[in-house]
Amino acid sequence: MKVAKFGGTSLASAEQIKKVCSIVLADKSRKLIVASAPGKRHKEDTKVTDLLIALAERCLAGEAAEAALGAVVARYREIAEELGLDDEIVNVIEQDLRARMALDTGKPEMFMDALKASGEDNNAKIIARYLQSQGVNASYVNPKDAGLLVSDEHGNAQVLPESYDNLRALRDRDEIMIFPGFFGYAPSGEIVTFSRGGSDITGSILAAAIKADLYENFTDVDSVFAANPHLVESPEAIEELTYREMRELSYAGFSVFHDEALIPAFRAGIPVCIKNTNNPSAPGTMIGFERKGNGNPVVGIASADGFCSIYVSKYLMNREIGFGRRLLHILEDEGLSYEHIPSGIDDITVILKDAGLEGEKEERIVKRIREELAVDDIVVEHDLSMIMIVGEGMRHNVGTTARAAGALARAHVNLEMINQGSSEVSMMFGVKAVQEQKAVQAIYDEFFKNANIIREEAVSHVRA
Ligand SMILES: Nc1ncnc2c1ncn2[C@@H]1O[C@H](COP(=O)(O)OP(=O)(O)O)[C@@H](O)[C@H]1O
Ligand SMILES: N[C@@H](CC(=O)OP(=O)(O)O)C(=O)O
């Protein structure tokens, strides 16, 4: 039995939904289907989830919301009409949205999640209706009835362990099940969503719960590429990745798969395959415990902007017991989590998300670190990007850092920071955000383009 998750781009229109249904019907083992909300039909389009957020914001601000509601209903009406479904399903969806809009706005996070979750919930209902209209034995599954329990962290839910036992029963149902992604229910009964892009997480939880043979994640690209295709032109396709490599790459910016989605599948040992709804016969990228090596120590280069750093130096920091703990305690006190901490003998740098460290809060934190830890120097830098080079081969390969740093130097990219990381399969470089694209291109050329040219030249030389 397979779990197949279809992303927003795969379900953005009636035409896409028809493609999805034919993919589902082409393989009898595709029984548990996870649906996202309709995504973008073209570059300038708006995802239904974003329309729902706009609608919720208007309601929360006490502003007129009919036009915003109309925009959501119109997306579903167009889909339903083109699928040949009658108006009844559109009325059901409109009533459902109005009922959610009538919820208590006194709890804004709860209200927002109830509206956000409707995107996947109503899309799953439409898809189930369409399959039924084609004579297929299919039904919509409500995550509450199925027992998908999550923590009450709105917009950032974590699955609760008892969900796995609850969801296992889905294995015994003899029909195609359409399960809405992106949300579950807290034990109190309220709807709670995962973070953005979280339908990937739903799919992974279901695959682990039913011990699926495979978790297929259908999107709009043929595979995971060695670099973000928006930053590097026609990057190489990746055939295979290990769980560790994918986890690092998705954390560091490969938005094709949610970084929290790998853990449930990994723990249960379920292989994951990233595939293209628009080209389902392409093999896609397989993710598992092991992969074949190809001689390249690097498998992918990811990057993300929106970081800042706090550099702190103090003579004899290495001898001061508890310095690191007290530094991190100040951040904890101020409600901030950190991403990385490269350190030296007398200095330490804490990398954080830029959004957390601003204005008065930044001033207060800098003052506290300066005074409470009596540091010699403290420097905060904003607008940084982190470039992550990932590959299992890096564990046995010397010189990868030197090659990457050399490529960056030749491209005149200033290195703000290097972090080897303790996982041994990744290495991180901090650069100014304005140099991110240049940095990724330079490292990509070093490990993929130039390396291939050298390999090809060597082969042709031998042949000649
Ligand atoms: N390294 C990468 N490989 C493949 N796609 C990537 C990579 N980095 C970023 N992406 C982007 O991820 C997109 C797919 O993810 P997403 O938009 O979330 O799809 P979905 O709607 O299927 O959930 C691709 O269209 C591509 O632009
Ligand atoms: N629709 C939600 C959840 C999701 O996973 O979407 P997608 O599959 O389009 O990335 C979002 O936009 O965040």
pLDDT digits (tens, 9 = 90+) for 307-342: 999 999 999 999 999 999 999 999 999 999 999 998
Q: Quote the CA–CA distance of 462 and 454 in Å, as a whole number.
A: 12
* Predicted local distance difference test score (pLDDT) of residue 43: 93
Ligand 2 centre from 197 Cα, in Å? 4
Q: Are 226 and 448 in contact (CB under 8 A)?
A: yes
Closest C-alpha to ligand 1, atom 12? 256
The verdict on the CB of residue 41 being under 6 Å from ligand 2 is no
Ligand nearest the Cα atom of residue 200 = 2
Q: What would the two tokens of residue 374 be?
A: 């009596």
Mean pLDDT computed over 339-352: 93
pLDDT at 454: 55
User: Which ligand places an atom closest to the C-alpha of 245?
Assistant: 1
CATH superfamily of 2-288: Acetylglutamate kinase-like (3.40.1160.10)
Confidence band, pLDDT 50/70/90 cuts, at residue 185 = very high
Q: Looking at the predicted structure, is the pLDDT value of residue 458 above 70?
A: no
Average pLDDT over residues 136-147: 98
Sequence-distant (≥ 6) Cβ neighbours of residue 147 within 8 angstroms? 162, 163, 165, 166, 167, 169
282 SS3 class:
coil
Answer yes or no: is pLDDT of 1 > 90. Answer: yes
Q: Ligand 1 centre and the CA of 6: distance in Å?
A: 12
Q: Specify the ligand 2 atom closest to the Cα of 219.
A: 8
H/E stretch holding 178 reads: strand 176-180
Residue 455: its pLDDT value, please?
55
pLDDT confidence tier of residue 464, bands split at 50, 70 and 90: very low
* 259, pLDDT greater than 50: yes
> How far is the centre of ligand 2, averaged over its atoms, from the C-alpha of 332 (Å)?
30
In which band, very low, low, confident or very high, does the pLDDT at 419 lie, cut at 50, 70 and 90? confident
* 198 Cα–ligand 2 center, Å: 6
HSE-CB of 46 using CA atoms within 13 angstroms: 14
DSSP 132-154: HHTT--EEE--HHHHT-BB-S-T
Q: What is the mean pLDDT of residues 378-387?
A: 96
Give the closest ligand to the alpha carbon of residue 37. 2
Q: Which two tokens stand for residue 457?
A: 């030249």
Of 41-55, 158-172, 356-370, the least confident: 356-370
Work out the pLDDT band at 346, boundaries 50, 70, 90.
very high
Query: Probe ligand 1: pick from 45, 201, 219, max atoms within 8 Å of CB?
Result: 219
Q: Is 183 in the pocket of ligand 2 (CB under 6 A)?
A: no
309: left (phi over 0), alpha (psi -120 to 50) or beta: beta
Mean pLDDT of the chain: 94
Minimal-distance CA residue to ligand 1 atom 15? 256
- Residues lining ligand 1, CB < 6 A? 7-10, 36, 39, 197, 219-221, 224-225, 227-230, 254-256
Predicted confidence band of residue 452 (pLDDT cuts 50, 70, 90): low
Counting ligands in written order, the one closest to the CA of 221 is 1
Residue 201's pLDDT is 98
Would you say 448 and 234 are in contact if contact means Cβ atoms under 8 Å apart?
Answer: no
Cα separation of 307 and 381, whole Å? 9
Atom of ligand 1 nearest to the CA of 223: 4
Region 378-403: mean pLDDT is 91
The three-state secondary structure class of 177 is strand
- 269 alpha carbon – ligand 1 mean position (Å): 24
Q: Is the dihedral of CA 307, 313, 316, 319 positive or negative?
A: negative
- 239 pLDDT exceeds 50? yes
CB 215, CB 266: distance < 8 Å: no
Q: Whose CA is nearest to atom 4 of ligand 2?
A: 197
Ligand at shortest distance from the CA of 52:
2
- Count CB atoms within 10 A of the CB of residue 196: 16
The residues spanned by each domain of the chain are: 2-288, 300-463
Q: Give the number of whichever ligand sits closest to the CA of residue 16.
A: 1
Residue closest via CA to ligand 1's atom 20 equals 7
- Rounded to an integer, the average pLDDT of 53-79 is 97
Give percent of the chain with pLDDT exceeding 90.
90
Structure tokens, 250: 């998705």
- ipTM, two decimals, is 0.98
pLDDT in tens, 198-218: 999 999 999 999 999 999 999
Per-residue pLDDT of 89-138, as tens digits, reads 999 999 999 999 999 999 999 999 999 999 999 999 999 999 999 999 99
Token pair recorded at residue 428: 């991180």
Largest CA distance in the chain: 77
- Window from 161-165, 334-338, 438-442 with minimum mean pLDDT: 334-338
Q: Which CATH number fits domain 300-463: 3.40.50.261, 3.30.2130.10, 3.30.530.20, 3.40.50.300?
A: 3.30.2130.10
* pLDDT value, residue 420: 77
User: Of all atoms in ligand 1, which is nearest to the CA of residue 226?
Assistant: 1
Q: 180 in ligand 2 pocket by Cβ < 6 Å?
A: no
Specify the pLDDT at position 443: 97
pLDDT of residue 294: 87
The reported pLDDT for the residue numbered 462 is 47
- Residue 430 CB–ligand 2 contact under 6 Å: no
Q: Helix (H) and strand (E) counts for the chain? A: 15, 17
Of the given ranges (31-35, 75-79, 91-95, 356-360), which has the lowest mean pLDDT? 356-360
Q: Is 84 left (phi over 0), alpha (psi -120 to 50) or beta?
A: left
**What is the value of pTM for the model shown?**
0.92
The CB of 300 under 6 Å from ligand 2? The reply is no
